[in-house]
Structure 1
Amino acid sequence: MKKIKILSVFVLCSLLFPSCEREIMEWEERPEDERVTRAELPLELAEKIERYEPLKTYADYVLGAGIGMDLYMNDEVYRNIVNENFDEVTVGYAMKHGAMVNAQGEINFAPVDAFIAEATDAGLSIYGHTLVWHSNQNASYLNSLIAPTVIPGSSGSNALDISGLQDGSFTGWNKNNPGNGITVVEGEGLGDNSKAIKLVAGSGAANPWDLQLASPQIPVVSGHEYEVSFYIRSDQPGKGRISFSGLSNNYPWLDWYNTGGDWTEAFETTSQWQQVKFVVSDFTGTNFSMFLDLGYLPGVTYYVDVDSFNVVDLDAEAEVVNLIANGDFENGTLDGWNGWGNESTRSVSAEGEGYNSTYAMVLTNPSEAQLWEAQQLYTLNEPLEQGTEYTVSFYVKADVPATIQFQLQNPDYAADYSGGIDVGTTWQQVVRTITPTTADRNKLVFDFGQTPATLYIDDVVLTSGEVAAGSPPIIVEMTDEEKAEVIGDAMEHWITEMVTRYTDDVTAWDVVNEPMKEGGSLRDGNVTDAASDHFYWQKYLGKDYAVTAFKLAREHAEPSDVLFINDYNLEASMAKLDGLIDYVNYIESQGATVDGIGTQMHVGLYTSREDIVEMFQKLAATGKIIKVSELDVRLGTASPTTEQLADQADMYRFIFDSYREYIPAAQRYGITIWGVSDHEKEHEFWLPDESPNLWDANYERKHAYKGVADGLAGRDVSEDFTGELEY
């Protein structure tokens, strides 16, 4: 008897086949002694299968395999079986947006570069999978591009009377040298429908006082520091300053941007909102007033957000009892705080890096994990009262957009949770209420393991009363048009960089993957249960997102490259197939070209053969190049019987025969088998406890290997074998 090779392969399936949304068949576990192995196949059949040549020997079109890139690179035996049997490879995950794009939007090409060099040296071609899809995206980065801008509120109650600005009467305010006008206008401030002071410099403006707005008198407490802040923008580059009455130095040179340097008399303005913020304390009496001087340059129109115009007594006594003794970290330590998890670190910031204070707590999470896998906690002196509503507030920012949460926890780790909190890269105040459900909650815990990021947290308050007065943060949402522009730019960058980078190595691409719903309508991205790696480009770019994608891919690809649209369950839903074909026609009506249509074909033994034939007939009628892109045949069990293995081989043979019969030769791109073997490691996440592939769990050829080879050849190849079979 011939010796049979046993191929030892370990497959990381979470990276191999995170492909589609589809139901997995029922399966049953068979006792170990009832499982069918290659050795239990009829001897003559086993001998025949062993004598077949490598699969690609029988193909007259492209025969591909869906593989794991890391496995291919690191396991020589696995790499050899792929190289020997296939013409083309599709990596299941590693060439997708989620795998290659980091939190800053940078694309890491190095792993794919190395893989392509290895695979092309072995004579394999590379299929690009995939450019635009809703799953396996770096959704955190993409969502950060269109996240609302969070403008931190003031540090406390406003000592400046802005009521005359809010009602437009300017009561208490004086318009000195009003230039071409000082008014209050609706809808020009930071938030939705918010107000702004509009100040227009005259044509002869040359001095700061040539356009001036004077504030009411502001009462002060001697010895206290007061923070002055506001947001300002202008229709063209502008320049302004703040001068005073009632200070020892009424014309101070100040560090307007609170950077610790670059002291200047005046600040510059642009069309983008920016904050002016500084502290004064050299009062000569019990009150002072200030002057907004914007007359440096002629013809400039300025807008100052009304609600952001604040003067805050930084030394005012807090109105609440904070149960966190070291919540402001002003002593330069983390006394009372400790934490662990995910190799995270915690420290106190450098002096001056806190929010309106000297220090902040710094938490660094080095890698992506579960939220709770990196924690920082404070243990309270006494447990909180069950059923009492508590307020938790703190200021936070991160070096990249991140997600955190907090919890009230008991000694046995049971907890009440805040829910996810999105953190931006500028200081924002978080205020949440939470009610302990038991009487033993005695720890405040920050969970920060989800995002690789460095977080700064300051002014942590846990109280059963209200948080000390202060203005809430202002949230500025992008318009739909702005979101479309930003996301369109991100898609253009991704497609352009990928296709340009690999134009010499990748000759076919899944440009748009899985655009259709099951009923045949187009996905719109309006979902309530999106996974963490889901991002729907079409939600922001509309129906023409695919038009743009195909135009971009064609612009940067070689003329001979084949550009596909791809979807699943086309053999199970004629409505979905018809919808996809209609969408292809729409894309082309808008000036783009779709070269080919991919049908994934994750099927089972009981998939309707009549529907498979109808699908191939409809696809052929489009005139497009047709590819079976992710073929596997499920059995519903990891312990198939001999009969099931034969039925599986017959289904594979039927699909290959039907492809040859109904797809004209000129329209055949090829067929890709999705996966190599039935080893459990290869099906940890994709079709777990299944047996859909051509090699069994011991990496021996299954009956299905013969079915595919015969389908490729268009005949029973074993009928040509000569000589007595060895047993």
Structure 2
Amino acid sequence: MSASTTSTEVSLGEPLGSVTGKPAARKSRLPVWLLAATLCLVACKKEAPAPAPPPPPQPPPVTQPDLTTPLKAEADFPIGVAISYAGMMNDARYQDVVKRDFDAVTFEYNMKHGAIVGAGGMLDFSQADALVDKVTAAGVAVFGHTLVWYQNNNGDYLRSLATTSAASGPDLLAELNGNFENSGSGTTPATLFQGWFGSTGGSGAATFEKEAGSPQQGSGALKISVTTPGANPWDVQFLNGDWKPTAGKTYQVKFWVKSTGSGSFRAINQTPNAGSPNFAQLTVTPTATWSEVVWNYTAPAAAIQFGFHFPAAGTFWIDGITIRETTQTPVSNTAGAQKMDAVMKDWIQTMVNRYKSKVRAWDVVNEPFTDGTPVLRNGSNSTGDTYYWAQFLGRGYIAKAFRYAREADATADLYLNDYNLEYSTAKLDSIVALANELKAAGVPITGVGTQMHISTTDSYSNIDQMMRKLASTGLKVRVSELDVKAGNGGAAGTSPNAAALASQAAMYKHVVSSYLKNVPAAQRGGITVWGVTDNSSWLYNNGAQFPLLYDKDYN
């Protein structure tokens, strides 16, 4: 259920009153202070059972607690929040709230397969690394999300691995000087090679040369020295003319690269008409010796412009570019199972090994069950970012995923995570049964997660039942993606009224109370709220819902 978000302005109504204290203290917002009060009253006095919530919930009295205390200080288990790359890297208020009020963060998108794995299987950790470094430097823990999921994958790449590809036919870039053998009419970036156009813009600075001393093949190669990257990836670029594919067919793009330094560049295919852009890119990180890059690309139109963008400093050589039509033939089930097992293992262990000094817990398998049923997800006709690991690996992929993660990190907490467990008894029972089955088989699962994307009208008794059943596994229990929808009751963009906010606060309070009452202290993996401000939530929908603890002004 986790998804990337957009930002739109929203207000959550008037605060309940003024609060004195430090300038950096939390401003009054009903769900936040009720959550803090609940954590303090229940977590700090565990011997007192949490009272049953009155149905229906009534607005609490307007009594201001001490909001100068960070939210995380009110609980003896981790209080987490989901963060976006843009918010954490660029918004100072966003950063301050995250660092002040939360013990841990979960990245909304940046650790998922689709965020890391580019076309052709090239890995780009730049945003994930930057977020991990920024967060851990502030003393905030990172919860890894997610290793194996059926969504937010590079689905095209994964599907291509279960096929055999054979390139044939003419080189569609031959007439466009893809091998850099034909020099141009001058020495400027725009005239250096026939069929190519180089340029720098903005603050970018680079030199373009023909490398005649040591090309990979023939008599010349392209050499680009980027001294100052621009603000945009395309500020330094080298573009070809339009090659002529058949729309809908797959083509194999091949070229040779090397570099000095550790910088990356991007190969691009784009429709040439700016009015109808269709853009694909492959991030390439060359080494000091010539190596071949292979990119399987499905053409969306009958005219495509190929080229390169250079967003990083360094010196890069490129040679021998070819583009040929390719045919793909599905492999056998046995061969596919062997291949995808190895691919899944490599992906999991690459991620866990890279971050194991900084990430101490992972969602290993996310959302294995179909909506509202005890049926495990499976499918052979996935498209886009969807990919079903069970297609070749069967239900055994789940146990394998946990074992591969444990091989990479002997001590990290490893979670099974799903949603609607408070709503669907069938799905809840299936998750519990699966967790117990994995435990009995010696699979290294240490926790179960319940996402809890809920509303103010969800059943309190169902929530209590869910907490008890999850705790019955003996595993750690984590509320992994909590948000509580509170509609505005009117036109989109208007604030929710006091009754809606009060009901939302009561639901947040009940979730915490039920968690503390029904999950033993040793099994509490924490509660994570799925986002910082309402207008950054995946549920916001231009002001139709206000599901989080803070409004756009961080009240």
TM class, shorter-chain normalised?
0.5 to 0.7
- Structure 1 counterpart SS, 2:415: strand
Identity %: 34
Look up the match of 1:37.
14
Look up the match of 2:3.
18
Give the partner amino acid of 1:691.
F
Q: Offset at 1:89?
A: 1.4
Q: 2:434 aligns with which of 583, 586, 594?
A: 583
Look up the match of 2:365.
512
Q: Within 5 Å, which residues of 2 pair with 1:652-671?
A: 652-671=508-527
The 1:526–1:454 alpha-carbon spacing in structure 2 relative to 1, beyond 3 Å, is farther
- 1:612 corresponds to 2:466: no
Q: Offset at 1:659?
A: 1.0
Give the partner amino acid of 2:457.
Y
Q: Offset at 1:144?
A: 3.6
Look up the match of 1:622.
473
- Structure 2 counterpart SS, 1:36: coil
Q: For residues 99 and 428 of structure 1, what CA distance do their matches in structure 2 show?
A: 18
Q: Offset at 1:525?
A: 3.2
Look up the match of 2:502.
646
Q: Offset at 1:666?
A: 2.5
Calculate the TM-score normalised by the size of structure 2: 0.65
- 1:566 corresponds to 2:417: yes
- Structure 2 counterpart SS, 1:48: coil
Q: Within 5 Å, which residues of 2 pair with 1:1-400?
A: 18=3, 36-38=13-15, 48-49=64-65, 51=67, 53-109=69-125, 111-152=127-168, 397-399=253-255
Q: 2:303 aligns with which of 431, 445, 459?
A: 445
Q: 1:695 aligns with which of 532, 543, 550?
A: 550
Instruction: Assess if the C-alpha contact under 8 Å between 2:144 and 2:362 holds in 1.
Output: yes
The 1:688–1:146 alpha-carbon spacing in structure 2 relative to 1, beyond 3 Å, is farther
Look up the match of 2:448.
597
Look up the match of 1:522.
376
* Structure 2 segments unaligned to the other structure (5+ residues): 18-27, 31-59, 185-190, 202-209, 213-218, 221-229, 257-265, 281-291, 311-317
Q: Can you list the C-alpha shifts for 1:365-420, whole angstroms capped at 9, x where unaligned? A: x9999xxxx996699xxxxxxxxxx999998634499997989x9xx9899x9xx9
The 1:564–1:542 alpha-carbon spacing in structure 2 relative to 1, beyond 3 Å, is same
Q: For residues 656 and 60 of structure 1, what CA distance do their matches in structure 2 show?
A: 12
Instruction: Assess if the C-alpha contact under 8 Å between 2:72 and 2:79 holds in 1.
Output: yes
Q: For residues 195 and 255 of structure 2, what CA distance do their matches in structure 1 show?
A: 22
Q: For residues 70 and 154 of structure 1, what CA distance do their matches in structure 2 show?
A: 44
Instruction: Assess if the C-alpha contact under 8 Å between 1:100 and 1:108 holds in 2.
Output: yes
Q: Can you list the C-alpha shifts for 1:246-277, whole angstroms capped at 9, x where unaligned? A: xxxxxxxxxxxxxxxxxxxxxxxxxxxxxxxx
- Structure 2 counterpart SS, 1:547: helix
Q: Offset at 1:45?
A: 6.5
Calculate the TM-score normalised by the size of structure 1: 0.51
Instruction: Assess if the C-alpha contact under 8 Å between 1:619 and 1:626 holds in 2.
Output: yes
Aligned pairs, number: 453
Instruction: Assess if the C-alpha contact under 8 Å between 1:135 and 1:534 holds in 2.
Output: yes
Instruction: Assess if the C-alpha contact under 8 Å between 1:342 and 1:449 holds in 2.
Output: no
Q: Within 5 Å, which residues of 2 pair with 1:694-713?
A: 694-700=549-555
Q: For residues 88 and 532 of structure 2, what CA distance do their matches in structure 1 show?
A: 11
Give the partner amino acid of 2:343.
A
Q: For residues 524 and 331 of structure 1, what CA distance do their matches in structure 2 show?
A: 51
The 1:618–1:403 alpha-carbon spacing in structure 2 relative to 1, beyond 3 Å, is farther
- Structure 1 counterpart SS, 2:379: coil
Greater shift, 37-46 or 56-65, is seen at 37-46
Q: For residues 429 and 110 of structure 1, what CA distance do their matches in structure 2 show?
A: 23
Look up the match of 2:350.
497
The 1:509–1:687 alpha-carbon spacing in structure 2 relative to 1, beyond 3 Å, is farther
Larger Rg belongs to:
1
Greater shift, 664-673 or 117-126, is seen at 117-126
Q: 2:537 aligns with which of 683, 690, 697?
A: 683
Could you say what the CA RMSD is over the residues aligned between the two structures, in angstroms? 5.3
Instruction: Assess if the C-alpha contact under 8 Å between 2:487 and 2:546 holds in 1.
Output: yes
Higher relative contact order (CA 8 A, sep 6+): 2
Instruction: Assess if the C-alpha contact under 8 Å between 1:633 and 1:693 holds in 2.
Output: yes
Instruction: Assess if the C-alpha contact under 8 Å between 1:628 and 1:672 holds in 2.
Output: yes
Instruction: Assess if the C-alpha contact under 8 Å between 2:477 and 2:525 holds in 1.
Output: yes
Instruction: Assess if the C-alpha contact under 8 Å between 1:396 and 1:455 holds in 2.
Output: no
- Structure 2 counterpart SS, 1:488: helix
